[in-house]
Amino acid sequence: MVVALFVFALANTTIYLLAQRPQDAQAQAVPALTKNNEAPLQTEAATQASETTTAAPAAQVATTQPTAPAPAPSPAPKPTPAYDRVSIASIGLSARFVTVGLTSTNAIDTHPSLVGWWNGSAQPGNPGAVFLDGHNPGVFSKLPSVKEGAQISLAKASGESFNYTVVHIETVMLAGINMRAALSTYGGASEGLNLMTCVGQYNANTGTTDQRLVVYATRS
C-alpha cells in the first residue's frame, strides 16, 4: 500500500512538472525577444550618430570656396626686328636698306623693292662716300623732290645713327654719267652719302630711263 501511494505521488509530481515547463520556457523567452527588439533601436541610434558625425566634414567641404587658378603668364612680346634704315623727314621718306653687289654686266645692282647699299662703297661712319640706290617709281619715288639743306639719317640695326646734310643735287644723262664722281664725297669731304635713282624718259630699248638723279650729302 505504501509503495502504491509513493508511485502515485511520483507520477502526479512528474505530470505537474511537465505541465509547468512550457510556461517556464515561454517566460524565459520574453526577455530574449525584448533584448532582440531593443538591439535594433540601439543600432539605429548609433547609426544616426555615426551619420551625423560623418556628414559634418561633407558640409564643411561643400561650404569651402574653390581656389581660383592662378592666371597664366602673358607671353613675352616678340622684339621688333631691327633693320638698317634711311630717312629723309622733309620728303617723308623712310625705308629699309640692304646690301647689293654688282650685276653680270658690272653695274651696281638695284634691289627690286628696298634701298640698296652698294658693298663696294664706304660703311656709314667711315671715311669715304656711302652709296645708296633705289627704283623710281618705287622706294625712291620721293627722292626727286628733295632740296639742298635737307637732313638725311642712316640708322643701323645695331642702334648707331649717322646724320648727313644734302649739299648738292644734279640730274645727268645716263649715257654720260660720271660714276667716279657719284661714288666720291662731294667737295672733298671726309665722310659723305650719295643717293641715286632713275628720272627722265623711259627707253624701251634699254629697259630704263635716260637720266639719273644724284643727291650728294656730307656728314653733319
DSSP-assigned letters across all residues of 60-73: HHHHSPPPPPPPPP
Domains of the chain by residue range: 1-32, 85-219
C-alpha cell at 62: 561643400
| Cα gap 165→219, rounded to integer Å | 6
pLDDT for 87 equals 98
pLDDT for 78 equals 62
CA-wise closest residue to 165 among 141, 139, 186: 186
| Cα gap 119→84, rounded to integer Å | 14
Q: What are phi and psi of 101, to 5 degrees?
A: -115, -135
pLDDT in tens, 10-50: 555 544 444 455 444 444 444 443 334 444 444 444 445 45
CB 220 within 8 A of CB 164: yes
pLDDT at 125 over 70: yes
pLDDT for 139 equals 98
Q: How large is the average pLDDT for residues 58-74?
A: 62
Question: Residue 29 in 3-state DSSP?
Answer: helix
CB 109 within 8 A of CB 98: no
CA-wise closest residue to 121 among 60, 64, 71, 180: 180
| Cα gap 209→140, rounded to integer Å | 14
| Cα gap 161→155, rounded to integer Å | 4
Furthest C-alpha separation in the chain: 180
| Cα gap 109→22, rounded to integer Å | 131
Going by pLDDT thresholds of 50, 70 and 90, the confidence category of residue 70 is confident
| Cα gap 193→216, rounded to integer Å | 6
pLDDT in tens, 100-109: 999 999 999 9
| Cα gap 218→196, rounded to integer Å | 15
Domain 85-219: give its CATH superfamily.
Sortase (2.40.260.10)
CA-wise closest residue to 114 among 129, 127, 128, 100: 100
pLDDT in tens, 130-156: 999 999 999 999 999 999 999 999 999
